[in-house]
Structures are given as structure tokens and as C-alpha cells.
Amino acid sequence: MTGASDASELPIAPERTFALVVGIESYGIGRGMDLSGPARDAVRFAEWLTGTAGVPKSNLRLLLSPLARNEVGVEAKPATRENVEDALFEDLPHCDGDLLWIYWAGHGFLDPTHQLLLPYADATAGYTTHLNLTSALRWWQSNKVGGGRFRRLVTIGDSCRIDTRRAQRVGFPKVEYPTGRHTDRKQFTLYAARPGETARNRAELEAGQFTDTLLRHLQDRTLEQATLGLVEIARDVQRDFAVMKGNGTAWQEPQFEIAVGWDGSSLHGDRWTDDGTASGAPVLDQHAWTELGDLLTGRPMPPYTYEAYRWAFEVARCAAPAEHTLPSRHLTEIVRDLDSRQGTSSNIPLALPFIRHLASRSRHADWAAAANDWVDRTRERLGAAPIPPPPARTAELPALHVRLTPEGDDRFWLQLWSYQGDFENVGDYERPMDLEAVRLALGAHLVANAARSPGRIEFHIPYDLLEEPFETWQVPTGRATKTCALGGRYQVLLRCPEERQGLAEAPWRTKWEWYETHGGRHPDAVHDVRDDDVSDGLADELQLDESPVCVLAEVTGPLVMDALGAVLDGGIPIAVWRRPSPGPDESIRTALGATPPALLDVESLPAALRRARVRRRPLALLWDDPGRIPERRSLSS
């Protein structure tokens, strides 16, 4: 347990500590949003503050909106927009205090920029008024709070952190609070869950599992012990949840952040006290930044940037951000983000493995050499630990490319290429043939070349043939008359590069570049299309931005081809849809085995569809990589 403050620390005085404590169980949105427990949790947290911690009750702002059936035994104003914003932005900023605690229990959602939105009790479905907690913390970190007040701010959020796009019956207006000049005010934020996770409410206790666990670690601590020991407490709570998750009684993972930068970047370590010591890795010095500016100026983000970003955290053995996004569209700002974080188990600034990884994948030898030299000089000057070699690029499966070029009604020229690093033409057939003849020719080729069997078969076809279930084609196994389904033995991908001409080509290539740079787990990578979305304007909507890169066509049979036409016209390179079948009634995400369904990795789709087909889930995959197209050869006449 952390004891009294060090000599360099100003004492933490209860009488100079203030708190805003909020618990919301009943929402104007409707009964479907009711929670039982947050008001009671808020009261328990307030009791610790005004009890063991010794904070005067006059310094507490308690706002509660309990369910009618829940008696909390205290008087409090309701947690409406007016009351919350008056306390947080008008009342408390003018109080003469050194430390502010904010506790919030209730629903929580993440917007597309990963800001935490906390609905007020008087929020409605059509207009879901809310506290933008992320923006509010930036406001509090600025000189909007003046006079040297509130050197520290501690925020505890017992709420879910699920994507607003997964929420039903809510409509969040845009809320941002204007900030002033950045100050060095310290902020510690402890969340009940990571981005994308729900926070469990224990119905049998009518209490949040997170608050219940946290209070066990706070109950015997004084205010000073709790405040200076927040990192220790947070890690104890994380360990408790790891145990509960292991035995199946919890699913969330609490997360804490210590904000130190105006750009919102955080240290995931223990620089919370002012004892003058630093833990974790060193940061870049000015000499390193000067050289890095020359190295990165004007350089676009290359493919695999996100992969390099994640690998930096692995090398430093610290937790990577859970949201699977890059912090900026500019390399220098990504390095700045990495430099504002610290690994706690390795003496390596995160910027060094990031640049090393980029150099290992660069197609420009001169730049790669200069980047590696910068890493070596900087590491030696800072006394950082050695950096392991970056992982090799994942090898592509050997592929067989099957091109079908129309020739009259229902007949096609057949050409075959193998690909393993380079294209090799392995078959030009002399006469056009129907699809049954194509199937027989393909099966014969696979048996004859079994020693060089591909892992993937890619059909280059016209738009109309997207309706043909190539993945169910029966091909010989080579044993007597036995056959097997093509999609059960190989990854089967459909391609329409000839349809990507004119105005559709530029967005197609742009989206694929975005996918290679940001990876397939980015929350904006996948877009679900349903029957109501299929319209004349769908293609325009899909091509509007660099993302999405993948469409899951959750549409009924008559609309499938219309949806796929919009995919091609909108430049979407990847799509998944159902084949007609009496299969299970489940979403595409569930059929693909995504766990949870919201976390779908685009990169895994070819393998995931093959597994789904083996399990009798009839799914088709369009996978149009503009960098993997064999040169067109002249056709026989």
C-alpha cells in the first residue's frame, strides 16, 4: 500500500478535494435502457469518499437517477443534462481545490473517433443528450480551469464502451467542449472495460462488478493513500478481473490511462506521482527528433504501418491500444504518439521498433538504410535495449488463378496461372467452353499437378458469373471416382478486375492501399449492407471515403446482385454474401466465427470462409487485390 506522500509531493488534503458522483439507472430513452445498480454503486463510492477518505460532504456533488423500485436512502439531484453540466463546467471549476474525483456509473458508448459518450438521465431516443467525457477531460486539462486549481483529476467510469453504431434506439448529437491553452494538470482515468467491451452488472447484488471490485481495494485506504496509489490499485483490479475472466465469471478488462499530452496521448505506466523518478523506457531526445523530421518529412504512410505500430508494443512488452486504429494519418504524429507511451518491462522507446519495422518492409532501399541507421544511432545514444529483428512478412499461399473470358452465349475462354511470388502461365485452352467443361478441365489440372497443389483458387470472372457457386463445384480427389467440393479443399476467391475500369478504378486502388496500411481489424474496415441500404445511391456512399474496404451483404436473394453491383461501382475490393441454401438462419459475422461478432478481421476472411463452407455455411467471397492480376495474354481464335 502506498504510504504518505514523498517530500516533493504536496500533501493531498481531504478539505481541498471535491467530487462529482453520478449514478443513472432510469433513462428517458425508455425502459429498455434501465439498469439496476448504478445509483447504489454511486452512493457506495460517495460513502467511501466522505467516510474513510474524509472528504467533506459539502465538497460532494451527488447526482442520482435511480429506478422507482430502488431506494438509495439519500437525497440527490437527478442526473440530468442541466445538473451534470452545471456541476462540471460552472460550479466545480470555481471551487478552491487541489484534487477532483469524477465517478460515473451508467451506460456508455464510443463514437467513431473513440470518444466516450455517457447519456444523461433525461436523454431521449431521438436526441440522446450526453456528456462527452473525453472532450470534458480535455476541457479540464486546459486553462478553462484557472487559478492553479485542481492539480489532479481522477475519473472512474463504470460503463460499457461499445460502439454507437451497435446501439439501438439512440441518436447522439455531436458534442464538443471548447478548450483553451494546455496545462500540466494530471489526469488519471480508470475505465471498467476496454473499447468494444460491455461492463457487467451483477443483478444478484444490484451492483456493477467493476465498482464492487474497486471498492474492495479502496475501503481501507485514506484519500492520500488511494490517490498516490492509483496505479497500484488499478493493476490490482486488473489482476482480479484476469482471475475472474479465467474462471468464467467476468468478461471485461479494466483499463487505465494517465494523460500528459495535449493531443490526448497517454502514458500506460506509473508516472502519476511527482517523486522525480521515471519508469519505463526513455523518450526520444531533440537530436533524434531533428533527424527523424528529415527522414519522415513528405513521406506517405506505407503499407503495413499499423502492423509496425502494433509490433512496437509487443517489443516493449506493454499493452497496445485495444481499438485497432492508428493515432494519426501522418508518420511523424504516429511516432509522437508512441513516444508519449511507455513500456514498463523493457528499456526501449516504442518509436525505435516502429521505424525498424517500416524499414524492413520498405521497397526503397536507400530510405530503409537511412531509417535503420537512425534507429541504431538513437538506440546507442539513449542507452536503449537491443531491438529484435522485425517479423518476416507472412508468406502468401500458392495460388491458381483461373480467368474466364466470355465468348458468345454461356461459353468462355479458359486461362490458368500459378502464383508463388511471380505469375506463371500454366494453361491456355484452345477453344471456348461452357462452365461444365471448365469444371472438368480445372479438376483435371488439379489432379495432374497435385505435387504443386495451390492453397487458394482465384476466379477472374465477369460480374454475371458472381451468381455461379464455384466454391461448391465438385472436383476429383484422384482416388477412383471420389470427388470433393472445391471450397472445402481450397480457399476460393472470386475476382472482377475487368469490372474495375473507368470511375471505379481509383477508389478500388485507394481502398486497397488503405487496407494494407491500416489492417483488417480497424473498426471502419467493414460495412454491413442490408435490404434497406440497397438503392441507386449505395455505390456513391461506399466510394465516399477510403474506408470501408469490405462489405458484408446481409441482403435477401433478389437484392444480392444489386448489392454486388454497388460494391464494384463503389470501389469496394472485398465482399461476403450468402448463396441460396436452407442453411442456418444466422448473421454472416456469426457464420464466420468472429468472436465477438463485432470484431471481424478482414485478413482472416479467405481462411474463415473455407472453414464456414466445411461447416455447411454457404458463403461467397469477393477478394479483388489490384496487385495480383496476371498479364492478359492473347486468346486463341
Cα separation, 304 vs 307, in Å, equals 5
> Exposed, middle or buried, 385 (CB in 10 Å: 0-12/13-18/19+)?
middle
Name every residue whose Cβ is closer than 8 Å to that of residue 307 and which is 6 or more positions away in sequence. Answer: 357, 519
Contact 571, 598 (CB under 8 A): no
Q: What is the DSSP string of 431-485?
A: S-B-HHHHHHHHHHHHHHTGGG--SEEEEE--GGGGGS-GGG-EEE-SSTT-EEE
CA dihedral sign, ordered 528, 533, 535, 536: negative
What's the predicted TM-score (pTM) here? 0.61
Cα separation, 93 vs 494, in Å, equals 60
CA dihedral sign, ordered 315, 321, 322, 324: negative
Q: What is the DSSP string of 102-137?
A: EEEES--EE-TT--EEEE-TT--SSS--EEEHHHHH
Cα separation, 107 vs 135, in Å, equals 17
Cis peptide before 548 (omega within 30 of 0): yes
* CA nearest to 141, candidates 264, 278, 11: 264
Secondary structure of the chain: what % helix, strand, coil (to 5)?
A: 35, 20, 45
pLDDT of residue 2: 43
Cα separation, 122 vs 124, in Å, equals 6
* Weakly modelled stretches of the chain, pLDDT under 70: 1-10, 165-169, 202-205, 259-281, 319, 322, 341-346, 583, 595-599, 633-637
Cell matching residue 125? 431516443
Cα separation, 64 vs 76, in Å, equals 6
Contact 229, 5 (CB under 8 A): no
Phi, psi of 338 (to 5 degrees): -65, -35
Find cell 475490393 and name the residue.
Answer: 573
Which CATH architecture does the domain made up of 15-267 adopt?
A: 3-Layer(aba) Sandwich (3.40)
**CATH of region 399-493:** 3.30.420
* pLDDT tens digits for range 321-345: 767 888 888 999 899 888 876 544 4
pLDDT of residue 220: 92
